[in-house]
Amino acid sequence: MDYYMYINALLSHVLNILGVNSYGPGLPTVVNRARSQGWTGPLVIAETGPLGHWQAQITNWKASIEPSSDQKATDLDRYMTQLKGKVQGTIIFYWGTKIEATPTWHSFLLPFSNNEYERTAEVLAKQWGGRLPNGAPRIGSLSFQDGKNKNRWNKDEVNFLK
């Protein structure tokens, strides 16, 4: 018996809504998966965000490759748009800065900043009917210095997108 069929059979007389956790490309398919397994009641996405680090491509040394903030924002916007009208609501995994895989992977606020928003926070504001006062910076590319200071980026060579 599938999970949702089991839950439906066992608890449908007392369960008013089902919360499902889903991230990244699995997000738009949640409703169909739940319905195909027998869940007939309302759904809420109880925990979500962009592509999870466990879903990402990995390097030869088994490190997850984090998508750019722009890619995470674009993907999250697309996934949430596809869910509109199909679920009762969405709850973001963590509103703030969370170090999991990297300091920026699941964060909606820039780490080590004064609560500055990531681009994914702008997506949430748009999707939930609001608007942030200032747009997050969009970096198209940046380069690093050679030699002694090779771990520092060249602030004059940052390509900001409009």
* Residue 72 and residue 93 in contact, taking contact as beta carbons nearer than 8 Å: no
Q: 20: which 2 tokens? A: 């499902």
What CATH topology corresponds to 3-134? Answer: TIM Barrel (3.20.20)
pLDDT per residue over 63-84, tens digit each? Answer: 888 888 889 999 999 999 999 9
Backbone phi, then psi, for 138, in 5-degree steps?
A: -115, 115
At 160 the pLDDT is: 57
- Return the residue matching tokens 């409703």: 31
Q: pTM of the prediction?
A: 0.74
Lowest-pLDDT range of 36-50, 114-128, 146-160: 146-160
- Tell me whether residue 76 is exposed, middle or buried, using C-beta atoms within 10 angstroms of its C-beta: 0 to 12, 13 to 18, 19 or more: buried
At 2 the pLDDT is: 66
Q: Which sequence spans correspond to the domains of the chain?
A: 3-134
At 45 the pLDDT is: 92
pLDDT per residue over 1-34, tens digit each? Answer: 566 666 666 766 777 788 899 999 999 999 999 9
CA 102 to chain centre: 14
pLDDT band at 109 (very low <50, low <70, confident <90, very high): confident
CA count, 13 A, side-chain hemisphere, 149: 7
At 111 the pLDDT is: 74
